[in-house]
Amino acid sequence: MNTATMEEQIREQNILQLESQALFSQRRQFWTLQIMGWLAYTIIVFFAIIHPQFNAPDFNLSGQLANLAVEALSGFALSYCQWRFIQIIVHLPLRQTLLFSFISAGVLGLLYNVIKLSSYKVIVYQQQWNQGWTTLEFGGWLLFSLTTMFVWTAIFFIMLYNTKLQKEHEMLLRAQTSAKDAQLQMLRYQLNPHFMFNTMNAISTLIYKNDNDKANDMLDKLCEFLRYTLDKNAKPESTLSNELELLDLYLSCERIRFGERLQVEMQIDPQVRQCQLPSMLLQPLVENSIKYAIEPRKEAGTIKITAQKQANRILIEVSDNGIGQNSKVNQGFGIGMSNTKARLDAMFNGDYQFEMVENDIKGTSVIINIPYQK
């Protein structure tokens, strides 16, 4: 099983775990709200309706309490049914969800009112369940019953619809992340043929000059470099530490061509070695410096690579003492540099700086400013 497949499985497992946790949290929230809400309803009804009747001559305390228990339990059951119903229809368009939710709330409110009034007649007054009903009495009870069910419906609707919006937002974020990864990967793969062309062209030149030993050594280093990129650097994102390892392999390949003419200095802050950045970020920059600072001249040239943390950002600089910026601008920078800028833009959503400046004496510096992400 390759690394990409394993990472995809791990990502899917993480998503399933998060969804399971979200579902458990929603259930716990519902049952807490359901129990506490109907407990509060029971207390309010007791003190607002039953307690003031304590001094009445025909007051039946046990009947009133039994009736209150039936009223609360039946309301608990009906509100649970409403919760389940809204769970089913919440995936419909918003207007349909609202319409069906409040129609069902009206039906359940009417049913709740019949249960309450029937229980009151049977338990408190030992009458027939529908004995002595009047329009005024039924209407007065109905208003409170409907209000109760509408309040619960509004609460449930807000809870479930908010969860739906969160899921849709998470799906959108996952889609955007996948699209960004795909774009980074595409740009990352674009570098391989570009690098291969330049290196094979250099090997071909060595063979043409009958420098077969150097050509063979360079081919070995190239194979080692490509093996590393396939095994450890296939992902669109990497760390600065991995990039430095990759860069060392690349430079070992180029030192065969240029020998002592290629001088490299590095000043890397240990704090930033684990920061995240696009894979193969440094290699195209160094390759560009080699092309314009080392290759055209006979004397030794120096490439300096620095990386340091500034507040919550990382400053990376690749500088050389070559022929200068103006000559480079005239000749163009090719696919490597434009690809680097595109990958920085894709990974950091535009939150980056990429500039090329001419050094005070001679040569050019490429300066990259990106967010610090470990």
What was the pLDDT predicted at 331?
A: 45
State residue 93's pLDDT score: 87
For the whole model, what pTM was predicted?
0.53
DSSP state of 53: G
CATH 3.30.565.10 fits 236-371, yes or no: yes
Residues 351, 276: contact at Cβ < 8 Å?
no
The Cα–Cα gap between 313 and 372 comes to 5
- Strand-by-strand arrangement of the 313-320 sheet: 262-268, 301-310, 313-320, 364-371, 353-358
10-residue mean pLDDT series, the chain (374 residues): 56 66 82 94 90 82 91 96 91 89 95 92 84 77 92 91 78 65 57 67 83 83 77 72 88 84 92 88 85 82 92 91 56 63 83 83 85 87
Sign of the CA dihedral 126, 74, 102, 47? positive
Q: Which residue has the tokens 């995240």?
A: 276
Residue 353 per-residue DSSP state: E
For residue 329, what pLDDT is reported?
A: 41
CA–CA gap between residue 302 and residue 304 (Å, rounded): 6
| 245, amino acid identity | E
CA-to-CA distance for 18 and 283, rounded, in angstroms? 37
| Nearest-angstrom CA–CA distance, 333 and 341 | 12
Residue 174 zone, left/alpha/beta (φ > 0; ψ -120 to 50; rest): alpha
Closest by Cα among 95, 71, 93, 97 to 82: 97
Measured between alpha carbons, how far is residue 99 from residues 32, 95, 160 in Å? 27, 6, 15
Tell me, rounded to whole angstroms, the distance of Cα 56 from its chain centroid: 64
Please list the alpha-helical segments (H only) found in the chain: 3-45, 61-89, 94-119, 135-208, 212-231, 240-258, 282-289, 325-331, 334-348
Q: Which residue has the tokens 């990352």?
A: 188
Predicted confidence at residue 9, as pLDDT, reads 65
Instruction: Provide the 10 A C-beta neighbour count for residue 157.
Output: 20
Say if residues 258 and 294 touch (Cβ distance below 8 Å): yes
Cα–Cα distance measured from residue 268 to residue 250, given in angstroms and rounded to the nearest whole number: 18
**pLDDT value, residue 335:** 64
The ranges of the chain annotated as CATH 3.30.565.10 are 236-371
Rounded distance between C-alpha atoms, residue 268 and residue 324, angstroms? 24
| Cα-only R_g, the chain | 37
360 CB-side CA count, 13 A = 0
- Residue 265: the pLDDT is 93
Q: Which residue has the tokens 């309301």?
A: 75
